[in-house]
Amino acid sequence: MDKVTIVDIAIENEKGAIFTYLDIARKTKDTSGKNMFITLASEEVRHLLSLLEVKDLFSKEVHIKTLEVPKSEIEKLLPDIKAREKKKHGKSELNELDALEIALEQEKKSMEFYETHYQSVDDDSLKALLKKLYETEKAHYELIMAQIDYIKGTGFWFDIPEFSME
């Protein structure tokens, strides 16, 4: 896959993540949950802006027509929210755990995409950006996982046991 296609897919992925997180925030009743998803969406906006800047630089170097990104590639990166929505009083709502699991799925797919491609591209500046995006998505993943562990009461906080049985 060439670098322009990778950037195009990453751009669509970030757009999807922004809309996913804002949609989840809208459907989540818990205020702190809403705020977390809005924060995640704003971070994805920063990722999108970085990728758009890179795409702009690439378009100045190489004059190519706009690429069409196959829809199937993008669909693989986006979570299925509809399957987890609950109808309540005519409104769609997500419970906190479902919302976090959707976000976790989004971050995992983004991490995998960025990790695969930062390891395979030859362009050093794109490699550095994709690696940074991978690291940021991994941090999001760990934060969301900590929230899930807390809600489920697994006794773990950021993969560290909160208590010992000894």
pLDDT bracket for residue 64 (50, 70, 90): very low
pTM of the model: 0.70
Write down all domains in the chain, each with its CATH number in brackets.
3-161 (1.20.1260.10)
Q: What is the pLDDT of residues 77-109, one digit of tens each?
A: 445 555 555 554 455 556 788 888 888 998 999
Q: At what angle do helices 124-152 and 31-61 cross, to 10 degrees?
A: 170
d(CA 52, CA 58): 10
Does residue 156 have a pLDDT over 90? no
Does residue 27 have a pLDDT over 80? yes
